[in-house]
Amino acid sequence: MTISKRQLNLNVGINTTGYLANAWRYRTGTRHDINDPDYYRRLTELAHKGLFDAVFFSDHPALMTDPNGRPFHTIDPLILCTALAAQVPDIGFVATMSSTYNSPYNLARRTQSTDIISGGRLIINIVSSFNPNVAANFGAEPLPPRSERYAKASEFLDVAKQLWSSWDPAREGDIPENRFWDAATAQAIDHAGDYFTVKGPLNVPVGPQGHPVIAQAGASESGIELAARHGEIIYCNILSRAAGQAFGKKVRDRAIELGRDPSGIRIVPGLVAILGETRAEALRKHELFSGAGSEDGLLARFVKDNDIDPHGFDPDAILETERFIPDPNRIQAVGMGLGLSDLLAHEKLTARQAVRRSEGHHRLVLGTPEEIADSIVDLWADGTVDGYTLQPPRAPDDIEEFIDKVIPVLQKRGVYRTSYEERTIRDRYGLPNPFRSNGNSRAF
């Protein structure tokens, strides 16, 4: 691995018609794209042209059947990423999967298989699932409480890491001519914990990245604990410098407490970028793509989403922070709701200002390509973030626009690659190989 200048990391989400539920009305393409593997190939080729680190698939193993919504999670992400990896070189793949509704052996095996097949291009985004619709597809039991789901997720990854390193051909000694292999390269893990009993070894060997890169989302207390312990790429919602720095410090401090080197953590939050020839055009596109239709519509949605009494509401009054702290016991992903309260904890904002700072829970940047590039570099330059996971309102349109107009600006500023260099995603993110650091292949 060569020592290279710090670079901006960029992933791009390519679920169905794009990130924003209402933006499909303004996109190129047909409604049938969402289940067409060739559509995802074209999006991945586009992302490859933009030299993105990886394409990102969020996921729930359930069909959301709201007639006014749209199916957002369809073809299995790991299966789709496996096919795409066989079709498109270089680029990485973030596949989201549930630690609550998978077994560690099967998941460790499948993901290591895809990592081997892709030549070390897999990132797995482990989520503990929060939706009762998901639980109902996996038995009569309700969703376990959050604390249990996260404890289980943590042990799940402990087991997976043991399995991923349990068969290492690099341990091979001399093999007599009449034998096919050195069976001592594979060792049982004999794990017996609170949630899992797994003998091993895994029947897939150590992969090109040691194991797939582990991404982790969720900013609740349990989410931060899991991120600090296992997360290599943290996908989160960071709406301001102060909030981002506080979040990063929290995760890294906790990692140190757990005895982990925090230099193996990358913070790559979501970002919604809407471009215009002018800022005014970008604001107008935001009103349309969000489905709100106008600035008044955005304000009305804000009032409704935050349970504010509309009578006497002043969109130009400074908002009170306490009003926006989410209930930690609610069913929705808690971490996703923290963005706004974190933002307001550090900045005095009116509702009129706040509605232009986030969309779909993520940081919203609006303006000309130069302005967008400024906003991206701003939080990256001082290390608040290591990069972004672009969540384009419309696919393919907003990916194309970003590649045509923003990427060249980032390249001109010298913060973004002009070609793919590193072979694995782990190397591209400058993350350590988990099993090789001490010359001891089982250390992690």
**Residues of the shown chain interacting with a second copy in the complex, contacts defined by CB under 8 A:** 17, 24-25, 31-32, 35, 37, 60-63, 65-71, 73-76, 78-80, 82-87, 101-103, 105-106, 109-110, 113-114, 116-117, 133, 136-140, 167, 169, 178-184, 186, 192, 196-205
For residue 140, the minimal CB distance to a second copy (Å) is 4
Judged by beta carbon, residue 134 or residue 365, the one nearer a second copy is: 134
For a second copy, the closer CB: 113 or 321: 113
Instruction: Identify which of residues 141 and 307 has a Cβ nearer to a second copy in the complex.
Output: 141
By C-beta, is 138 or 420 nearer to a second copy? 138
Cα–Cα nearest to 406, from 420, 388, 422, 421: 388
- Residue 217 — φ and ψ, nearest 5°? -120, 165
Q: CB of 106: closest distance to a second copy in angstroms?
A: 6
Nearest distance from residue 188's CB to a second copy, in Å? 8
From the CB of 99, what's the least distance to a second copy, in Å? 13
Give least dist CB 62 to a second copy, A: 6
Report how far residue 118's alpha carbon sits from residue 229's, in angstroms, rounded to the nearest whole number: 26
Is the Cβ of residue 180 or residue 310 nearer to a second copy in the bound state? 180
Reading the block at residue 35, the tokens are: 């289940």
Residue closer to a second copy by CB (options 75, 345) is 75
Q: What minimum distance in Å lies between the beta carbon of 398 and a second copy? A: 17
DSSP symbols for 351-415: HHHHTTTEETTEEEEEE-HHHHHHHHHHHHHTTS-SEEEE--SSTTHHHHHIIIIIHHHHHHTT-
- Residue 235 is inside which H or E element, if any? strand 233-235
Backbone φ and ψ of 222, nearest 5°:
-65, -35
Q: How far is the CB of 64 from a second copy (least distance, A)?
A: 8
CB of 40 vs a second copy, minimal distance in Å = 9
CB of residue 433 to a second copy, shortest distance in Å: 18
29 burial level (CB within 10 Å; 0-12, 13-18, 19+): middle
Q: Which is nearer to a second copy, 81 or 268 (CB)?
A: 81
- Across-strand partners of 233? 215, 266
Q: Which tokens go with 184?
A: 């001592």
Closest CB to a second copy among 193 and 264? Answer: 193
Round the CA-based radius of gyration of the chain to a whole number and report it. 22
Residue 20 near residue 359 (C-beta atoms within 8 A):
yes
Closest approach of a second copy to the CB of residue 77, in Å:
9
| Overall residue count recorded for the chain in this entry | 444
Tell me how far CA of residue 168 lies from CA of 55, 99, 158, 162, 230, in angstroms. Answer: 29, 24, 17, 11, 21
Question: Can you tell me the distance from the alpha carbon of 17 to that of 33, in angstroms, rounded to the nearest whole number?
Answer: 8
Is 192 in a helix, a strand, or coil?
A: strand
Contacts of 362 by beta carbon, 8 Å cutoff, 6+ apart? 237, 239, 269, 270, 271, 272, 339, 391
Q: Which is nearer to a second copy, 115 or 225 (CB)?
A: 115
Q: Between 24 and 380, name the residue whose CB sits nearer to a second copy.
A: 24
CB of 54 to a second copy, least distance (A): 18
Question: What is the DSSP-derived secondary structure letter of residue 4?
Answer: -
**Closer to a second copy at the Cβ: 282 or 425?**
425
Query: In what order do the strands lie in the sheet containing 362-367?
Result: 266-267, 233-235, 213-217, 122-127, 92-98, 54-57, 9-13, 387-390, 270-275, 362-367, 358-359
